[in-house]
Amino acid sequence: MAQMTPPFADARPVRPRAGERRAPTTAFSELLDEALRARAVTLTWVRDRLAAEGHRTSLTSLSYWRSGQRVPERQPSLDAVRAMESLLGLPADHLLSALPAVRRPGPPGPLVDFVDLVDPPQDPTAEESATLATFGFEGAHRRQRVTLAHLVVDVDEHGDDVRISARTAIRAIVEGLESYSMGLGGLTEGETAALLEVHGARVGREAHLSSLGVQAWLLDLDRPLRVGESHVIEHALRLPPTRHQHVEYYAEQPVRELMLWARFDARRPPASAEVYEVNDGEETATPLDVHGLCSLSTIRHGFGPGTLGLRWSW
């Protein structure tokens, strides 16, 4: 049972003010990475145990913190860091004291790299690095803009994700755009997904990046696109039996329309659910009314950069 603290003795963790940084040298991200490696646990393990203690922190946020591209700033995130210290067997303030002074609001930081979304973090092999470059994952936002994304996941009576489909509209911002790359992460050794159908493009190459747990496809467009020209791609994947209990979309740039739709077998509708957003490494979540529903959905207009997700439980 969590110990309650009376209001007059507010012991919520706080970040040091400017000029009050308590850790002289080691960065927060380095300490977090070191603690995770010492315990031999993944970010997924941390996320699940934080959720069990009432701290809703997304895998994307934890990836940001571990890579050093973002740091926790808002009070719910600081509370989660305090809980992480306990989970990882660290002294109090071991991580909190390494946080820099509060930043003033400013432009968003750099986009997250594709490999930073992999859990547990792995360094790609030379061959995998070459594949990532060939498939064009890095720097895709400099060649195209995603203007519409509709993502649909089907969940069977056992609670396993079995199929995912997507309709994506892109606009070329370079002359002669010829391809579109997509990847599926979170695969364990031996797991593969099957590409059931593709419209608006054809499969050019497929690769399995085993050390990253990623399966990737390079889709060749019907023809090269001119600057400013738009095109729609639709595809569907049959998934290996997995039970993620969430679906999310990471938007590198603002998306004009983003829709997530989770569809459940009528024999096993969700008991609870929420929609969550991760912006600048900070998560906010809103409960959904699931009474009488066998599907969950959320739609955002002008969303991004950031992550939009649906999460459910039985």
**What is the predicted pLDDT for the residue at 17?**
41
**What is the predicted pLDDT for the residue at 292?**
93
On average, the pLDDT of the chain sits at 80
- Of the CA atoms within 13 Å of residue 313, those in its CB half-sphere come to 6
- Give the CA radius of gyration of the chain: 21
Whether residues 158 and 35 fall in one domain:
no
Whether residues 80 and 122 fall in one domain:
no
b/e per residue, 102-119, with b = 16+ CB within 10 A? eeeeeeeeebbebbbbbb
Whether residues 86 and 127 fall in one domain:
no
Give the residue with greater pLDDT, 106 vs 66. 66
In Å, how far are 61, 119, 121, 150, 282 from 44, measured between CA atoms? 11, 7, 11, 25, 17
Does 297 fall in a domain? yes
**What is the predicted pLDDT for the residue at 107?**
36
Among 71, 98, 125, give the residue marking a domain's end: 98
**What is the predicted pLDDT for the residue at 230?**
94
| 281 Cβ neighbours under 8 A, 6+ residues apart | 61, 64, 65, 69, 70, 71, 72, 73, 77
- Provide the pairing of β-strand 194-199 with 246-251: unpaired
Whether residues 158 and 267 fall in one domain:
yes
- pLDDT tens per residue across span 283-303: 889 999 999 999 999 999 989
Whether residues 221 and 162 fall in one domain:
yes
49: containing domain: 12-98
- What does the block give as tokens for 82? 């305090």
Does 103 fall in a domain? no
- pLDDT tens per residue across span 166-198: 999 999 988 999 999 888 877 777 788 899 999
Does 4 fall in a domain? no
Whether residues 71 and 149 fall in one domain:
no
CATH of residue 69: 1.10.260
CATH of residue 260: 2.60.40
**What is the predicted pLDDT for the residue at 178?**
94
Whole-angstrom distance, CA of residue 119 vs CA of residue 48: 13
CA 215 to chain centre: 16
Q: How many domains does the structure of the chain reveal?
A: 2
Whether residues 68 and 182 fall in one domain:
no
CA 177 to chain centre: 26
Whether residues 226 and 297 fall in one domain:
yes
- Of the CA atoms within 13 Å of residue 138, those in its CB half-sphere come to 11
Whether residues 45 and 169 fall in one domain:
no
Whole-angstrom distance, CA of residue 64 vs CA of residue 106: 17
CA 128 to chain centre: 21
Does 262 fall in a domain? yes
Does 6 fall in a domain? no
Does 104 fall in a domain? no
**What is the predicted pLDDT for the residue at 127?**
80
- pLDDT tens per residue across span 76-98: 788 888 889 989 999 888 888 88
* 134 membership: H or E segment, kind and range: helix 126-135
**What is the predicted pLDDT for the residue at 269?**
94
In Å, how far are 99, 145, 258 from 152, measured between CA atoms? 38, 20, 11
**What is the predicted pLDDT for the residue at 133?**
78
On whether the CB atoms of residues 166 and 234 are closer than 8 A, the answer is: yes
> Whose CA is closest to 145, among 118, 114, 180, 120?
180
Whether residues 126 and 241 fall in one domain:
yes
**What is the predicted pLDDT for the residue at 24?**
36
**What is the predicted pLDDT for the residue at 104?**
36
In Å, how far are 45, 114, 136 from 276, measured between CA atoms? 19, 21, 28
| 48 Cβ neighbours under 8 A, 6+ residues apart | none
- pLDDT tens per residue across span 107-166: 334 344 555 555 555 667 778 778 777 887 777 777 888 999 999 999 999 998 899 999
> Whose CA is closest to 273, among 310, 241, 232, 305?
310
Give the residue with greater pLDDT, 20 vs 267. 267
Give one DSSP letter per residue of 153-201, joined into a string: EEE-TTS-EEEEEEEEEEEESSTTEEEEEEEE--PPTT---EEEEEESE
Among 45, 68, 98, give the residue marking a domain's end: 98
Does 94 fall in a domain? yes
* 83 membership: H or E segment, kind and range: helix 75-87
Whether residues 66 and 155 fall in one domain:
no
- pLDDT tens per residue across span 220-277: 999 999 988 999 999 999 988 777 788 888 887 889 999 999 999 999 999 999 999 9
- What does the block give as tokens for 254? 């603002």
Whether residues 142 and 79 fall in one domain:
no
DSSP 3-state of 44: helix
Among 98, 127, 153, give the residue marking a domain's end: 98
DSSP 3-state of 225: strand
Does 2 fall in a domain? no
> Whose CA is closest to 58, among 304, 215, 249?
249
